[in-house]
A = this chain, B = another copy of it.
Amino acid sequence: MTQTDRTDVATSDVAALDTLERHLFAHNYALVDIMFNGETIDPPKGAAGRGEAMATLDEEHHELLCSPETGALLDRLSQDDTLDGTHAAEVRVLGRDRDQEASVPADVAADFTRLTCEAADVWHRAKLASDWDSFEPYLDRIIVSMREIAGYKDDTREPYDVWLDEFEHGTSRAFYDAFFSQVKDCVVPLVAAVGEKGWQPGRACVEGRFDEEAQWALARDLMELEGVDMDAIVLSRTEHPFTDSVTSQHAFIASHVYPDDVTSNVFSMLHEGGHAMYEQGVDPSYDYTCLKGGTSMGMHEAQSRFFENYVGRSEAFAPTLLATIARRFPERMAGVTPHDLWLATNRAEPSLVRTEADELTYPLHVVIRYEIEQMLFAGEATAADVPGLWADRYRGYLGVEVPDARHGALQDSHWSNGQIGYFPTYALGSAYGAQFMDTMRREGMDFEGVLASGDLAPIREWLRSRIWCFGRAKDPDRIMLDATGAPLDASHLTSYLTKKFSAIYDL
């Protein structure tokens, strides 16, 4: 083969890669739009048609990514050292996506999809009826299937390690064991000390009725305040808040407001706005490719929790937050001080439900799930043991009694969806974020000054240039090293929690 021939082949391979990316993008776009409408506006009778359309588009997406032709193309391109950086990153990320999908036999994958679809439906009814028994056999079957699938993906590692890595690239039990051990050593005594203190800050200023339409206006104000590009998002209404995107110019946010819980709206919007800014901050030249979007679930949570907690629940930002709420609710906020608002939104109190937990007790909810998931994968427990394990751990870590399965092991949908190994990513987010915050300070940013100014541009620019802009082209462990000069170190989080809650509760 002459040099000219080789160049021609390489050029046509790059063109083929671009074409593949365009078709994958179109399928992703369609699936995100359809899913978003399913969560926000679709009529009750539309579910079957939506399922049929999504299954077919999913199948086409799988065929595009996993075909032998795509495999051969990616193999050739991965050996082509003339590729530009973007195309080289695409080949790497697509290759990994392909490996995750293609290694599992189609019939095994299809059986697992059917099992989890059925299990999700059973779980939904089981939760409403607080009936663990009806869900129990499904959890056992899901564990069996996930062990089998993990074997196809990588039979050199333990199944739970395979799944942890699937949900957050680069993680394993060894990684999380060390991480959670450090978190528990900090949080468990702090929670105990708060309980012994027997005092809780008042919440009168955020309790009672806040008009729903004014809350929706506040929701937009909060996102603007954070720095979300409002011309590049849609905000719709749903029960469970979430954010997704199709390009850097088009993010989807769905949220709710409750007339009797304004703080749920305030912190949901700061949280979802953080997700949206990550999606908006990715290099726009990655649009229409696999590099678009956040690099991992944990890194995404790092952005959302950064704005929810390190900004939104800080004392320095409280005057700005108070003024923003007061614009929409002047009568309710009359006479409230920033300190009142800050205390009211930082009450640390053991509770039963993860999604409603405060900043201090939240990691313990995740620890409990992580421990039980390990036992299930290791065969040390079966689904029948879960309610007992759950009750023991909630009593032990949080001192609360689990009254029923609805407020216990049936509260989350993740297990029914086959997302066993996913919960730990939630806890990572806070730790990543604390390390970013400390790095900003170490590099000389007057972090509290920025918060107090109400103009978050310096924080956004730091996160954009170190994290957001890279999209999926950089893995989370690489981001930590490049952005902070060190791997993840949970002591940033534990120091933060110790300092903050010791001050609030005078420990």
Contact = CB atoms under 8 A, between A and B. Distances in A.
B26 A57 contact: yes
Given A56-B25, A232-B43, A48 B246 contact: no
Contacts of A49: 29, 246-247, 249-250, 287-288
A29 B41 contact: no
A146 B44 CA distance: 42
The 4 closest A-B pairs by CB, nearest first: A30-B30, A46-B250, A26-B56, A29-B53
Contact of A42 (B48, B56, B229, B250): B250
A25 B45 contact: no
Contacts of A234: 37, 41-43, 46
25 contacts: A23-B60, A25-B52, A26-B56, A29-B49, A30-B30, A30-B33, A30-B57, A33-B33, A33-B34, A33-B37, A42-B234, A43-B231, A43-B232, A43-B233, A43-B234, A43-B249, A44-B231, A44-B232, A45-B249, A46-B250, A49-B249, A49-B250, A49-B287, A49-B288, A53-B246
B45 A26 contact: no
B34 A30 contact: yes
Given A25-B53, A46-B249, A49-B249, 19 more contacts: A23-B60, A26-B52, A26-B53, A26-B57, A30-B30, A30-B34, A33-B34, A37-B234, A41-B234, A43-B230, A43-B231, A43-B234, A43-B251, A44-B231, A45-B250, A49-B250, A49-B287, A49-B288, A53-B246
Size category, A interface: 35 or more
A477 to B, nearest CB: 30
The winner among A33, A231, A233 for most chain B CB atoms within 10 A is A33
A48 B26 CA distance: 12
A247 B43 CA distance: 11
Nearest to A26: B56
A448 to B, nearest CB: 33
A354 interface: no
B52 A288 contact: yes
Secondary structure dominating the interface of A: helix
A423 to B, nearest CB: 31
Given A30-B30, A34-B29, A236 B41 contact: yes
Tell me the number of copies of this protein.
Answer: 2
Contacts of A250: 42-43, 45-46, 49-50
A407 interface: no
Nearest to A31: B30
A98 interface: no
Given A26-B53, A56-B26, A57-B26, A48 B249 contact: yes
B23 A232 contact: no
A48 B25 CA distance: 13
A247 B53 CA distance: 11
A332 interface: no
A213 to B, nearest CB: 9
Contacts of A246: 46, 49, 53
A22 interface: yes
Contacts of A22: 52, 56
Interface in A18-70: 22-23, 25-26, 29-30, 33-34, 36-37, 41-46, 48-50, 52-53, 56-57, 60
Contacts of A48: 247, 249
A314 B163 CA distance: 65
Nearest to A34: B33
A30 B249 CA distance: 20
Contacts of A29: 34, 49-50, 53
Interface string A286-329: 01100000000000000000000000000000000000000000
A275 to B, nearest CB: 15
Contacts of A232: 43-46
Contacts of A50: 29, 250
A32 B325 CA distance: 38
Contacts of A33: 30, 33-34, 37
